[in-house]
Structure 1
Amino acid sequence: MYSFSFAIKAVIVTVLFLLLLSACTEQAVLVAEQTNSQISIEKQHSKTIKALPVLEVYKSPTCSCCEKWLEHIDQHGFSSKAFNQTDLSAFKSNKGIAPQYRSCHTAVSKDGYVFEGHVPAKFIHQFLAKPPKNAIGLSVPAMPIGTPGMEVGNKFMPYQVILLKADGSYDIYAELNNYQEQF
């Protein structure tokens, strides 16, 4: 009887040990799966962040509407790098932007395309996805009320996004008649 109870105890201890071991193994597998899943999500998130197109934005150090426009593009699929300039006129001339198409800031893509003034991010994305032949970029001349960065309550002034061409000519790229068309 002594050996029988020892055998039963040995079986019980073995079964408990195996149950405990299997529970730990399942927990370890779950932790490993969660960790791998988290690493995968972090890699995807990292790729998303790295995939954002960068716009270098040249502006006056005192321009507050430029800061608001930077927020707009950063919230709509771009990463901006701002550079304060004291002589924007010479910079714009060097980029081929004629005076009648100028505004308060100039953004430049990695491919050298220019986006002058309060151009909505939507149109920058469209342009960069398929740049028109002989184009240097887009412009929203002056500073129309209601454009991204120039919001004043619920006021909106219809405006045009101008396609700037390398030969100095232009075309109308988009006409906006209400605030919602910008997004």
Structure 2
Amino acid sequence: MANTFSYGTLLGLFSSLLAAPVLAASLTVYKSPSCGCCEDWVSHMQEEGFVVKVIDRDNMLPIKQQAEVSPALASCHTAFIEGYVIEGHVPSADVRQLLETKPQVRGLTIPGMPQSAPGMDIPGTPYEVLSFDEQGQTQVFSRYAG
């Protein structure tokens, strides 16, 4: 006996598939085991559909050196996704845009730890997300009012 679906049922199924969030590639995050704001950023990324693998490290310096993140561009945690470096509390929307547009950059960073960035979540501090290349040159990728 063949299954029959009404046009409305098929349209509903199709619409729900289109509305479903598209999962990004797996994100590997290196962070200090005692850093609560890093855990909050990981939660932000998971809530936005990213699959996140967390690796706790007491010494982050070798990871930042491997990622070619200079001290001026550094933050508390370092992540890798599809060949890009994500340094610090970069919003999920910027990571998605990076993956969609695939610019010729090494990665994205928010140097330091702006209080209003995801995972910090204290409104009021404007900040910029910077892209950086292999030579450490930066450009503003996006701006947030805080």
TM-score by length of 1: 0.67
**Which of 149, 173, 183 in structure 1 is aligned with 2:119?**
149
In 1, the alpha carbon distance for the partners of 2:4 and 2:52 equals: 36
In structure 1, the residue matched to 2:100 is 129
- Structure label with greater radius of gyration: 1
**2:92 partner amino acid:** A
Q: Please list, as runs of the form range in 1=range in 2, the aligned pairs for 1:4-83 lying within 5 A after superposition.
A: 51-83=23-55
Between 1 and 2, higher relative CO (CA 8 Å, sep ≥ 6) is seen in 2
**1:156 partner amino acid:** G
Q: Secondary structure at the match of 2:87?
A: strand
Indicate the structure with greater helix content: 1
Aligned length: 136
In 2, the alpha carbon distance for the partners of 1:101 and 1:61 equals: 21
Verify the 8 A CA contact 1:58 1:83 in the aligned structure 2.
yes
In structure 2, the residue matched to 1:177 is 145
- Aligned-pair distance for 1:33? 6.6
Segments of 4+ in structure 1 off by > 2 A?
48-52
In 1, the alpha carbon distance for the partners of 2:22 and 2:130 equals: 29
**Which of 90, 96, 104 in structure 2 is aligned with 1:119?**
90
Percent same amino acid among aligned pairs? 33
In structure 2, the residue matched to 1:21 is none
- Aligned-pair distance for 1:146? 1.4
**2:26 partner amino acid:** V
TM-score by length of 2: 0.83
Distance 1:67 1:168, change over 3 A: same
Q: Where in structure 1 are there 5+ consecutive unaligned residues?
A: 1-28, 179-183
